[in-house]
C-alpha cells in the first residue's frame, strides 16, 4: 500500500493526532495537516479514496511533483515503429524534440526509460501451469556418452534418452544404442514403467523415429510404430513445434541437468563399461529426483510426485507393448472392411477399393495406406468377428459429434458443413482437436473463402471427406477444375465422324 494512502486512512479514522500519524509514517506533520484540510474541504471519505489509483490520489491531494506531468508523452507505438525501420534511439528522440513545444520535452534518459517500459509490454511471457499427469515430455540429449561394450577395445557412442513429468519434474533417463524406432520405443516403455503409469498425452521431439513430418499448418504425421505404442498405453501424441523448445521446456531442463552431471562424473577418469555407465546414470537420476527443489515448499521431485501426481496417473495395461511382427495386405471391400485371419476390421469409407497394408501384433491390428496409418483395432481371434469404428462410417451412417467446428461451418457452403461433421466425429484429444480446428479455420483465411468452398465441393464430389484433401487441392490450385467424373448427357459426335448412315449407304451401293 502506498504510504500516503495509509496515512489518509489513519486521518479518516480520527483516532490519532497529526503529529502521531506523522511520526508513525515518517512524514512531516505539515503534510498530514494539509491532507486533513483537503479531506475536510472536499468531503472525501474512505470509499472514494479506495476507488482511486495512486496517481489519481496524488493528483487530488497535490502532494508530489510526480502527480503533475511536465512533458508531453509521444505515441509510443509510433516511436517503436520508427525504431524498427532502422533508426537509432537518439534519432527518434531528436524527432520527438522537433515535434514537441519547448518546455514540454522529456530528457533523453527519460525517453529511453519510457520506451523500454513500452517494449516490455509488447512481448509478455505467459507462465503455464502443468496439470498433474497430463503430459510426459521426452527428448534425446545432444551429448553422446562413450563406453566400452564387451571388450575394452570396443568403444561405442551411446544415446542418452530423458523423459520428464512437467508437473513434478520427476526425471527418468536411460541409455540406448541408437535413436532408431525400436530403441526409441523401448526407451519410452521403460519411462512409463518407471513412472508407474501413463499420462494423457506424450510430447516427443520431432525425430524421425517418432514424427515423420511436421508441417507448419496441419497435423503431424506420426510414425506408425510410435503411434501404436501411444495407442497401446492410451496416450495422445502431441509433438513439440519445430524449433520451439518451450513446448517441452521441462525435459529440456532435465536434459541439461543429466548430461552435465553424467559428463562431469567421468571427467579425468578411465572410460567406463556399459554396465558402469548405466549404474552411474541411475545414481545421477535418483540424486536429482531426491534433491530439494527451490520454491516447492520443501519438496523434492520424488516427494512432490508421490504427494500430488502419482495418484493421477492412469494405470499401465496388463501386457507390455511389443513391436508388431506379422505383416500382410488386404483389399478394402464395399462395406469398408478388410479381412485378416478370418476377422474383419473397418477402415475409413473413403478407401473402398484400395489395397491397404496390415500389421498385426498379439493385441492390435494396424491398417495403413501408402505408408500412412488409417486405422488401429484390437485384434480379433474369433472367425467372422467384425470390429467397426463408428468414425469410419459415411456421414449418413454416423451420429453427429461435437458442434464447435460445425457451428463455424454453418456460415459456409453445405460441402464445408459436411466435411466439418466428419472431422468432429474423430476421436482425438482436446489439444489435438484445438490444433486441427485452428488449422482448418486458417484455410479460408489463407486461400480466400471462395476457393475454400470450391475445394470442399470438389472434396465432397470425389468422396474424400478430409480437410487434408482440401488443403492439397488449394495448394495445387485445382479447386475449380472437375473432380474427374465424366460429364453426363448424350454424346454429340464430331461432324467428321462416320456414323451408321454412312456405312448403311455404302452397304446399299454394294
Among residues 182, 197, 196, 180, the alpha carbon closest in space to that of 235 is found at: 197
Q: Are 338 and 366 in contact (CB under 8 A)?
A: no
Tell me, what's the pLDDT at 427? Answer: 66
C-beta atoms surrounding 262 within 10 Å? 21
Query: How is domain 135-312 classified at the architecture level of CATH?
Result: 2-Layer Sandwich (3.30)
Q: Which three cell numbers stand for residue 446?
A: 489463407
Tell me, what's the pLDDT at 143? Answer: 95
- Give the predicted TM-score (pTM) of the model: 0.50
Question: What DSSP string runs through 426-442?
Answer: S---HHHHHHHHHHHHH
Three-class DSSP category at 148: strand
Angstrom distance (rounded) from CA 181 to CA 222? 12
Angstrom distance (rounded) from CA 237 to CA 199? 11
Largest CA distance in the chain: 138
Beta partners for residue 359, in sequence order: 327, 366
Q: Which three cell numbers stand for residue 166?
A: 512437467
Tell me, what's the pLDDT at 65? Answer: 47
For the chain, which residues make up each domain, given as ranges? 3-67, 76-122, 135-312, 326-392, 404-476
Q: Are 11 and 21 in contact (CB under 8 A)?
A: yes
Q: Are 301 and 184 in contact (CB under 8 A)?
A: no
Tell me, what's the pLDDT at 178? Answer: 94
Task: Per-residue pLDDT tens, the chain, 510 aa: give them.
Answer: 888 888 898 888 888 898 998 888 888 889 899 889 988 888 888 888 888 888 888 888 875 444 445 788 899 999 999 999 999 999 999 999 999 988 889 999 999 999 999 998 988 877 778 999 999 999 999 999 999 988 888 899 999 999 999 999 999 999 999 999 889 999 999 999 999 999 999 999 999 999 999 888 888 999 988 998 999 999 999 999 998 999 999 999 999 999 999 999 999 899 999 999 999 999 999 999 999 998 888 999 999 999 999 999 999 999 899 776 556 678 898 888 898 888 889 999 899 999 998 887 767 888 989 878 899 998 887 777 778 887 887 775 544 334 467 778 888 888 888 888 888 877 665 567 778 888 888 898 888 888 999 999 998 888 888 889 999 989 888 888 876 544 444 445 555 666 666 666 554 544
298-327: b (≥16 Cβ within 10 Å) or e: ebbbbbbbeeebbeebeebeeeebbebeee
406-426: b (≥16 Cβ within 10 Å) or e: beebeebbebbbbbbbbbbbe
Among residues 225, 240, 142, the alpha carbon closest in space to that of 189 is found at: 225
Q: Which three cell numbers stand for residue 400?
A: 453427429
**CA 350 from chain center: how many Å?**
29
Give, in degrees to the nearest 5, the angle at Cα 222 between 195 and 226.
40
Three-class DSSP category at 80: helix
Q: Are 405 and 420 in contact (CB under 8 A)?
A: yes
C-beta atoms surrounding 198 within 10 Å? 22
* Residues 202, 208, 209, 214, CA torsion sign: positive
Tell me, what's the pLDDT at 400? Answer: 39
Quote the radius of gyration of the chain (alpha carbons, Å): 35
Residue 367's H or E segment, with its range, is strand 364-369
169-182: b (≥16 Cβ within 10 Å) or e: bbbbbbbbeebebe
Tell me, what's the pLDDT at 290? Answer: 96
- Reading phi first (left if > 0) and then psi (alpha if -120 to 50, else beta), residue 315 is in beta
Amino acid at each position: 500500500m502506498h504510504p500516503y494512502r495509509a496515512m489518509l486512512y489513519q486521518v479518516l479514522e480520527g483516532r490519532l493526532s497529526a503529529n502521531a500519524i506523522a511520526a508513525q509514517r515518517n512524514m512531516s506533520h505539515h503534510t498530514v495537516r494539509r491532507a486533513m484540510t483537503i479531506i475536510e474541504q472536499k468531503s472525501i471519505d474512505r470509499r472514494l479514496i479506495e476507488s482511486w489509483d495512486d496517481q489519481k490520489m496524488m493528483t487530488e491531494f497535490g502532494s508530489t511533483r510526480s502527480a503533475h506531468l511536465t512533458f508531453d508523452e509521444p505515441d509510443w507505438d509510433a516511436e517503436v515503429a520508427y525504431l524498427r525501420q532502422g533508426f537509432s534511439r537518439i534519432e527518434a528522440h531528436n524527432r520527438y524534440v522537433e515535434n514537441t513545444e519547448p518546455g514540454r520535452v522529456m530528457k533523453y534518459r527519460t525517453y529511453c526509460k519510457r520506451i523500454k517500459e513500452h517494449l516490455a509490454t509488447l512481448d509478455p511471457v505467459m507462465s503455464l501451469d502443468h496439470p498433474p499427469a497430463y503430459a510426459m515430455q521426452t527428448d534425446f540429449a545432444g551429448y553422446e556418452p562413450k563406453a566400452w561394450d564387451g571388450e575394452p577395445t570396443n568403444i561405442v557412442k551411446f544415446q542418452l534418452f530423458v523423459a520428464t513429468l512437467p508437473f513434478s519434474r520427476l526425471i527418468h533417463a536411460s541409455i540406448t544404442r541408437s535413436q532408431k524406432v525400436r530403441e526409441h520405443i523401448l526407451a519410452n516403455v521403460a519411462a512409463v514403467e518407471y513412472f508407474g503409469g501413463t499420462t494423457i498425452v506424450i510430447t516427443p521431439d520431432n525425430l524421425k523415429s517418432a514424427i515423420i513430418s511436421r508441417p507448419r499448418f496441419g497435423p503431424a504425421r506420426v510414425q506408425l510404430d510410435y503411434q501404436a505404442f501411444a495407442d497401446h498405453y492410451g496416450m495422445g501424441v502431441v509433438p513439440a513445434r519445430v524449433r520451439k523448445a518451450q513446448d517441452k521446456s521441462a525435459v529440456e531442463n532435465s536434459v541439461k541437468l543429466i548430461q552435465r552431471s553424467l559428463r562431469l562424473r567421468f571427467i579425468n577418469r578411465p572410460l567406463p563399461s556399459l554396465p558402469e555407465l548405466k549404474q552411474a546414470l541411475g545414481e545421477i537420476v535418483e540424486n536429482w529426483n531426491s534433491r530439494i527443489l527451490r520454491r516447492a515448499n520443501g519438496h523434492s521431485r520424488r516427494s512432490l510426485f508421490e504427494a500430488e501426481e502419482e495418484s493421477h496417473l492412469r494405470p499401465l495395461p496388463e501386457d507390455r507393448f511389443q513391436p508388431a511382427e506379422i505383416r500382410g495386405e488386404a483389399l478394402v471391400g464395399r462395406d469398408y472392411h478388410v479381412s485378416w485371419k478370418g476377422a474383419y476390421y473397418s477402415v475409413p469409407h473413403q478407401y473402398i477399393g484400395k489395397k491397404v497394408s496390415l500389421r498385426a501384433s498379439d493385441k492390435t491390428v494396424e491398417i495403413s495406406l501408402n505408408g500412412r496409418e488409417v486405422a488401429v483395432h484390437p485384434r480379433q481371434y474369433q472367425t467372422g468377428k467384425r470390429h467397426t469404428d463408428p468414425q469410419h462410417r459415411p456421414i449418413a451412417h454416423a451420429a453427429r459429434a461435437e458442434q464447435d467446428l460445425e457451428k463455424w461451418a454453418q456460415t459456409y457452403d453445405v460441402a464445408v458443413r459436411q466435411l466439418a461433421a466428419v472431422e468432429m466425429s474423430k476421436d482425438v484429444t482436446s489439444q489435438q482437436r484445438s490444433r486441427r480446428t485452428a488449422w482448418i479455420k486458417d484455410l479460408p483465411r489463407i486461400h480466400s473463402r471462395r476457393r475454400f468452398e470450391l475445394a470442399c465441393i470438389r472434396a465432397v464430389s470425389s468422396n474424400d471427406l478430409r480437410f487434408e484433401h482440401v488443403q492439397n487441392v488449394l495448394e495445387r490450385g485445382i479447386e475449380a477444375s472437375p473432380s474427374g467424373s465424366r460429364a453426363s448427357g448424350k454424346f454429340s459426335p464430331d461432324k467428321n465422324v462416320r456414323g451408321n448412315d454412312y456405312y448403311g449407304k455404302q452397304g446399299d451401293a454394294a
